[in-house]
Amino acid sequence: MVVVDKPSGLLAVPGRGEAGRDCLSARLQDEVADALIVHRLDMGTSGLMVFARGLPALRKLSLAFEQRRVSKRYLAVVDGWLDDDEGRIDAPLIADWLARPRQIIDHEIGKPSLTLWRVLAREPDRRTRLELTPVTGRSHQLRVHLASIGHPILGDGLYAAPAITDAAPRMLLHASALTVPHPVDGRAMAFDSPAPF
C-alpha cells in the first residue's frame, strides 16, 4: 500500500473535462503504476489517503474500510464556539439529487451517519478547533454534520454561508491520522499528518 498526504485543492480522482485530469491518483500512478484508489477525500480537504498496490491489496483494504477496521481522525476549524467539550452527531445522510453533489440529512431514507467531535481549542475570533472522528464514512459527512449543528467548517463553499466561506483561504479540514491494517499481514499501520492551518 501507499499512503499519501493530499494537498487541499487537488482532486483525489479524475473529474470532468480537461481540468479534471490532474488528480492525486493520476500523479501517484505515474510513479507507482499499480496504485489503486481505496477511499477519497474532497477536493478542498487535505491529508492522508491510502492507496492499494494491486487488486488483492485493494480487496483487503476495501474490506477493512467496510468492516470499520480503519480509524480516521480529522482536524477542522469551525465557525462559532461550541458549548460542550465533546459530542456526537448522529444524523442520516443521502444525496440531494436536485443539488448534486450536496448531501442532506434525511431521517426517513438517509443512511446512518455518525461523527464524534472533541474541542481542541476555542479561539478568540469565535472559531473552534475540533478533532473529528467519523464512525461512518459518508460523502461530505463531516461538512454536513457540522453545518447541521450551526458550526460550519471555515472555507466550505458548499455548506457554509458566503461570509464563512470567505473567512479562510481554503476549507479548514484535514485528514490528520489514519490507522489501517496492512493488506498482507494485518499489522496496524498508523500514520499522522499535522494540520497545515
Q: Which residues contact 139 (CB under 8 A, 6 or more apart)?
A: 93, 95, 101, 103
Pairwise CA distance, residues 110 & 108, whole Å: 6
Pairwise CA distance, residues 131 & 77, whole Å: 9
**What are 172's three cell numbers?**
479548514
The closest alpha carbon to 158, from 72, 43, 13, belongs to 43
- B/e letters for 58-94, b = 16+ CB within 10 Å, e = fewer, are bebbbebeeeeebebbbbbbbbeebeeeeeebebbbb
Single-letter residue type at 104:
I
User: Of residues 5, 30, 34, 42, which has the active-site annotation?
Assistant: 42
User: What is the sign, positive or negative, of the torsion defined by CA atoms of 65, 101, 167, 147?
Assistant: negative
Name the maximum alpha-carbon separation found in the chain.
Answer: 49
The reply to whether 42 belongs to the active site is yes
Which residues are designated catalytic? 42
